[in-house]
Amino acid sequence: MTVDYKTRAAALYTGDFRPMFIGGHWVPARSGAVIEAHNPATGALLATVPRGDAADIDIAAGAARRAFEGPWSRFTPFERQALLLRIADLFEKNWEDLCLSDTLDMGMPISRTLANSRRVIGMLRFYAGMATAIHGATIPNSFPGEILSQTVKEPVGVVGAIIPWNAPIAGSVWKIGPALATGCTVILKPSEEASLTVLKIAQLMAEAGLPDGVLNIVTGLGAEAGAALAEHPGVDKIVFTGSTATGQAIARAATGNLKRVSLELGGKSPLIVCEDADIEKAVPVAAMAVFANSGQICIAGSRLFVARKIHDAFVERVADFAKALRVGDGTAAETELGPIISARQAERVGRFMEAGQAEGATLLAGGDRLSPSGLEGGHFFAPTVFGGVTDEMRIAREEIFGPVISALPFDTLEEVVGRANATPYGLAAGIFTTHLGTAHKLSRRIKAGSVWVNMYHAIDPAVPFGGVKMSGYGREGGAEHLEEYLDTKAIWIQTE
């Protein structure tokens, strides 16, 4: 049976006020100011949310500290595990509404948001399992006599989390899940472009029995609420996903009390298609490595390096694939690409497309704004493919965060390694080859936090994810992720 998501969407948000969540209570901003949330596909007003600022962050920090030192500190690992499993069950029960909220608020097609259930709900259950696996070690030492040395793992404290607008459900869980597993408390500042789903998440977590103050959601602008969170002396750690420029500002702001910082930042990821690649498999993957979520993904494989012998034919097929994609309202089942998040971001993407043509790249597909019937108030771009690109062009160097592929030919593996690594970023990379030796050689030499071979976009709760160079530091996923939220204490005991 086909679900009518358009009808369900009409009832989900009706332009009303949605308060933020601090200390277990739903509250407005102290200033009374609000931010309007608009559907990027239609321009329609969905709701208003508080425009929180430093005063609200300060209240949230107090609530988080009281919870950390109070009731939450008495939860055993097994109790934290049980809580996370209840949260996962509630996510599963309410999954369609969470996904529809994301589709309305930031535009990702409902078919794609629904498909993330294994990843997101799997994250919650993975962190639930890890909650009871946190342990220290007994370590032999070189002192004479009976002296015991051991380590224990302790939660770092109050965590400030700042997430972008391109994946609110997954972004929230990636920050909240490990914090709850380790016994930390959280103040989460969602993007002002997409706050509504995060407030629904807080509602579900409260329903699951999360104690007051363990999770606090402060909506607001990055320059106000986000900056205040990064520099607040009552916050012990900051975790941030977003642009490199903002990550640098957060790192500077965190120096006041030397709080721990984890950063997952931008990228300009290479996707390398070797001469022996399986073309039938590589074409759709190379296209959707960028076009997924309309290019609004940090790991987008936007630099498409193709072996010169197959370059023209391969890129032509990618362009044909792009032309066939259906662009429109994300609540429609047939939609494959939704809108750009905002008018400001759409203008930015448009400037890159103009720059590509001005610098001499050849436009093979797309390149223009779209106004689908009935969606004239939205922000849409045709999926775009540029050929004739050189490494020096802006579209080959800068993160666009839009549906734009820059195709570049290469001649040798040695050459393509050097060109792929000639970027300040190092978040992800892709390789297509049927030769095991080539796969091994390239994957080891590419400087990136994740390398996918004959695939792209695979993310699993048990596998660490993160970047190198200007793409940040720290890892999300895997056992390494929990270590980001823990301090190691050494304990010495003379037993005689």
Domain containing 250 equals 13-137+152-265
pLDDT value of residue 2:
65
pLDDT tens digit sequence for 15-37: 999 999 999 999 999 999 999 99
| Residues 223 and 171 placed together within one structural domain of the fold | yes
Strand order in the sheet with 20-22: 25-27, 20-22, 215-217, 185-189, 158-162, 237-241, 260-264, 472-473
Q: Is 99 a catalytic residue?
A: no
When computed from its CA atoms, the radius of gyration of the chain, rounded to whole angstroms, is 23
Report pTM: 0.96
From the list 99, 193, 298, 484, the catalytic residue is: 298
| Residues 77 and 217 placed together within one structural domain of the fold | yes
| Residues 198 and 288 placed together within one structural domain of the fold | no
What is the distance between the alpha carbons of residues 472 and 462, in angstroms, rounded to a whole number? 20
Identify the CA nearest to 314 among candidates 393, 403, 405.
Answer: 405
Domain count, the chain: 2
From the list 264, 336, 399, 476, the catalytic residue is: 264
Across 121-130, average pLDDT: 97
Asked if the structure places residue 167 within a domain, the reply is yes
pLDDT tens digit sequence for 446-489: 999 999 999 999 999 999 999 999 999 999 999 999 999 999 99
Query: Is the predicted pLDDT of residue 289 greater than 90, yes or no?
Result: yes
What is the distance between the alpha carbons of residues 162 and 414, in angstroms, rounded to a whole number? 39
Mean pLDDT over each residue of the chain, to the nearest integer: 96
| Residues 443 and 312 placed together within one structural domain of the fold | yes
| Residues 124 and 254 placed together within one structural domain of the fold | yes
pLDDT tens digit sequence for 82-123: 999 999 999 999 999 999 999 999 999 999 999 989 889 999
Choosing from 265, 288, 307, the residue where a domain stops is: 265
- Do 326 and 338 form a contact (C-beta atoms < 8 A)? no
Q: Is 264 a catalytic residue?
A: yes
**Which ranges constitute the DSSP H helices of 370-427?**
394-397, 413-421
| Residues 177 and 294 placed together within one structural domain of the fold | no
Say which residue the tokens 């490199």 belong to: 244
